[in-house]
Structure 1
Amino acid sequence: MKLRNYLQQRITLSPEEWKVFEGMLIKESYPKKFPLLKKGSIEEYVSFIEKGIVRFYVPGEELDTSFAFIFEEEFLCAYDSFLLQQPCRYAAETVTETTIWRLSYHDLQTLYEDYPQFNILGRILSEQIYLKKADRELAFLTQTPEERYTALFSQRPNVMKFIPLQYIATYIGITPQALSRIRKRIS
């Protein structure tokens, strides 16, 4: 199980802790373009992507604005909504067929209370979320759209195969037409 391997690289769980944790997990599979979270709903789960890609986006009248892509072996969560248990200001949907393992807000709180190792994991994941957001903000302040596109491509070379160009364009902050021009210049 990819989730178990992921966790074992970050924390040490006893057989009892793993059994309790595993008993709380829900495995779900979704088709491409499935809405995992709608704007205005409350994020109830932290999820681990076993297979697939998910995007976070702000729904627009004419064009949605993508602001995050989450890939295999990464955690997925509308973290602000999850932490505060308040309505989300954005949405999430699958980009490809996706399989995830979900843990509810309530169950995570129980793990935090009963098992110190999960507090360590929570801190590690929070730090990763912060670093990704900080990198993204800095990229928008210091890089051109072409540099953001090139960075995305170099970090995730397979991304172009699965993510529609309109999602990539809004992710790097440009129109699909401007992305076409950048792609022509680069190739």
Structure 2
Amino acid sequence: MDQIRDYFEQLVGINDSDWQQFSSKLRKSEYPKKTNLLKVGQTENYLSFIEKGSVRLYFPKEENDLTFGFCFEGQFVSAYDSFLTQKPCDYQIETMTKTTLWRISHQDLQYIYANTSIGNTIGRLAAESQFLLKSERELSFLNESAEERYRSLFKNRPKLILEIPLKYIASYVGVTPQALSRIRKRIS
């Protein structure tokens, strides 16, 4: 939980009273590798902070899932569109490693918004975090080749290559596993 407070302290600062109210609503959850946190058709009820581990966001397909996002230690994760609208989700969220999350429910976050001076800032920071991840991904698909996306991913997240199966990385980069293999050979 200290990791979350440190996150907010670095960005905006949070007084003890607001932290006590916010932290009292957080619930620690631990999940083994390959656990579905959210399935297609379910409504996202949590905004989660990853203390340890990694997760992927994906569209399940019969042959190959379409991975469109990864989240790691020190980041927020949520099917944020479903969380905001409280409508069923079109994709899934799954742990890729043993993962520890600190979660706040939609209802509890609404309470924090209404009853703390920092509540709206917390919500804004979480929303900005989710937006930046989405924006970065969209821009990479518009401006970079698959090889450039892979290089960028490898540069920004070197641990990723060790922790995540290559088929997920290939899907994220937008190529087949065979094409990713060729890219890797070319740049090594």
Which category describes the TM-score, using the shorter chain as reference length? over 0.9
1:155 matched to which residue of 2? Answer: 156
Say whether 1:129 aligns with 2:130.
Answer: yes
How far 1:21 sits from its partner (Å)? 1.3
State the partner residue of 2:56: 55
Shift of 1:4: 1.5
What corresponds to 2:14 in structure 1? 13
SS in structure 2 at match of 1:108: helix
Name the CA distance, whole Å, in 2 between partners of 1:13 and 1:125.
15
User: Structure 2 CA distance, aligned partners of 1:24 and 1:123?
Assistant: 18
Residue pair 1:11, 1:121 contacting (<8 A) in 2 also: no
**Residue of structure 2 equivalent to 1:103:** 104
Unmatched runs of 5 consecutive residues or more in structure 2: none
CA distance in 2, matches of 1:27, 1:12: 22
Aligned residue number for residue 181 of structure 1: 182
Root-mean-square deviation (CA), in Å?
0.9
Instruction: Give distance in 2, aligned partners of 1:99 and 1:127.
Output: 22
By how many angstroms is 1:100 displaced? 0.5
Q: Deviations over 1:82-130 (max 9, x none)?
A: 0000000000000000000000000000000111312012112222222
- Helix, strand or coil: the match of 1:158? helix
Q: Report the secondary structure of 1:160's partner residue.
A: helix
Q: Is 2:52–2:73's contact at 8 Å kept on the other side of the alignment?
A: yes
The number of residue pairs the alignment matches comes to 187
C-alpha distance in 2 between matches for 1:117 and 1:12: 9
1:25 and 2:39 aligned? no
Amino acid in the other structure paired with 1:150: R
Q: CA deviation at 1:14?
A: 2.2
User: Could you tell me how far 1:142 is from its partner in structure 2?
Assistant: 1.3
Task: Tell me if the contact between 2:30 and 2:98 (Cα under 8 Å) persists in the aligned partners.
Answer: yes
Distance 2:137 2:113 in 1: 29
- Structure 1 segments, 4+ long, off by >4 Å, are none
Which SS does the other structure have where 1:13 is aligned?
A: coil
1-structure distance, mates of 2:108, 2:87: 18
What one-letter code is carried by the residue in structure 1 that aligns with 2:95?
T
Q: Cα offset for 1:27?
A: 0.3
Q: Is the 8 A contact 2:38 2:92 kept in 1?
A: yes
How many angstroms does 1:59 deviate by? 0.4
Instruction: Indicate the larger mover: 130-139 or 62-71.
Output: 130-139
* Structure 1, gaps ≥5 residues long: none
Residue range with higher mean Cα deviation, 20-29 or 104-113: 20-29
Normalised TM-score (structure 1)? 0.97
The amino acid of 1:53's aligned partner reads: S
